[in-house]
Amino acid sequence: MIAIEDKLGRRFEKLRISLLNSCNFSCVYCVSEDFSDNSVKSQKKSGFNEQLRVDEFTSLIAAVHRLTGIKSIRLTGGEPLLYPNLIPLINQIRDIGISDIRLTTNAYYLKEMATRLFNAGLKAVNISVDAVDLDVFNKISRHSNTSRVFQGIEAAVKTGMKVKLNAVIMRGKNDSQIIPLLDYATNLGVKIRYLELMKMGHLYHAENGSFFSEKEILEKIQTKYDIEKIQREYAETANYWRTSNGGVFGIIANESTPFCHDCNRLRMDSNGYFYGCLSNAHGEKLSPYIHNDFLLTEKIKELLHLKQPVKFHGSELSMRNIGG
Ligand code: SAM
């Protein structure tokens, strides 16, 4: 394997895959008010209609693994628990020689699936939970039964897999939930990460009035707890703090504290398009090159060069397509 590296010394070490772009939730930050970006029809119109099969995913993963040595895969979406062949896919990724397999989910179906996923080799799960208050959570997710998310979280913790919680914080929508979410996570013994709202998909051209900054999140937490910063690790997406009662929380602050300088992520969507950067909507199909290492290396280099050097700008692609 040759090192495919850019001028900043960045490499692709992690691959994030959107297994499908549909989801049973329609969270306000992901789906526009008129739902126009959440219908199968609109996905078909924009060419997002060629859902990959397990063997197609695995042949692409194997080729990229061979040339870049990627060590870790995150399965996401859309909602990855809706992908019908999730367990066979996990088994086949392990057969390629990648054992660090993680998942990002809304946890709606996790109660039923947690043990099977853990037994298949899933190491860690990130669960999106935007509020403890169910009325607030239902409004954000536009779903009427978000209590199942908490059952899913607790089932995952019980298996022994690593669990982290993710909450996108929006002014006037769920900033009141910052401390309740922290207390819930701390009582459960898991880390929570707050995300600054990103200008993705329908938010790309919108006024960012709901934006709630890292600084404001910290101020809110400090009304209840003293906090101490934890040293950031290489390629971490979040900065972490420890609270005076032993909780640990992170903030993914793409706007306030971008982490582009050591970003090591490559992304693939459910149609087999690869993306080098969350801030660049240009996708590249790698399937024509998987049997030609020279051309595949050139294509991977091109994707690496698309990475922003210092700052996140957002993109017209929604997270459900590019894989959040
Ligand atoms: N359905 C799964 C879930 O809910 O976790 C996986 C896909 S979801 C797109 C992955 C992550 O992207 C979630 O943590 C979600 O909160 C985040 N996300 C989506 N759009 C976002 C935006 N505009 N700004 C910040 N985070 C966003």
Looking at residue 271, its amino acid is N
- Which tens digits make up the pLDDT trace of 221-239? 999 999 999 999 999 999 9
pLDDT of residue 323: 87
Confidence grade of residue 45 (pLDDT, cut at 50, 70, 90): very low
Mean pLDDT, rounded, for 276-287: 95
Lowest-pLDDT range of 35-39, 50-54, 57-61, 89-93: 35-39
Q: Which residues lie with the beta carbon below 6 Å from any ligand 1 atom?
A: 23, 29-30, 76-77, 79, 104-106, 128, 166, 168, 195, 197-198, 200, 203, 319-320, 324
Pocket test of ligand 1: the residue of 104, 127, 137, 317 to mutate, having most ligand atoms within 8 Å of its CB, is 104
Res 44 pLDDT > 80: no
Q: How many CB atoms lie within 10 A of CB 251?
A: 23
Pocket test of ligand 1: the residue of 168, 205, 211, 316 to mutate, having most ligand atoms within 8 Å of its CB, is 168
Contact 165, 129 (CB under 8 A): yes
Res 179 pLDDT > 70: yes
Contact 123, 163 (CB under 8 A): no
Query: Could you identify the atom of ligand 1 that is nearest to the CA of residue 76?
Result: 6
pLDDT of residue 34: 85
- Which tens digits make up the pLDDT trace of 79-133? 999 999 999 999 999 999 999 999 999 999 999 999 999 999 998 999 999 999 9
Give the Å distance between the CA of 231 and the centre of ligand 1: 25
Confidence grade of residue 46 (pLDDT, cut at 50, 70, 90): very low
pLDDT of residue 38: 55
pLDDT of residue 50: 65
Q: How many CB atoms lie within 10 A of CB 298?
A: 12
Mean pLDDT, rounded, for 65-88: 96
Query: Which residues have CB under 8 Å from 172's CB, separation 6+?
Result: 210
pLDDT of residue 47: 45
Query: Could you identify the atom of ligand 1 that is nearest to the CA of residue 203?
Result: 23
Query: Could you identify the atom of ligand 1 that is nearest to the CA of residue 79?
Result: 1
Confidence grade of residue 51 (pLDDT, cut at 50, 70, 90): confident
Give the Å distance between the CA of 172 and the centre of ligand 1: 19
Mean pLDDT, rounded, for 53-71: 96
Average model confidence (pLDDT) for the chain? 94
Give the Å distance between the CA of 319 and the centre of ligand 1: 6
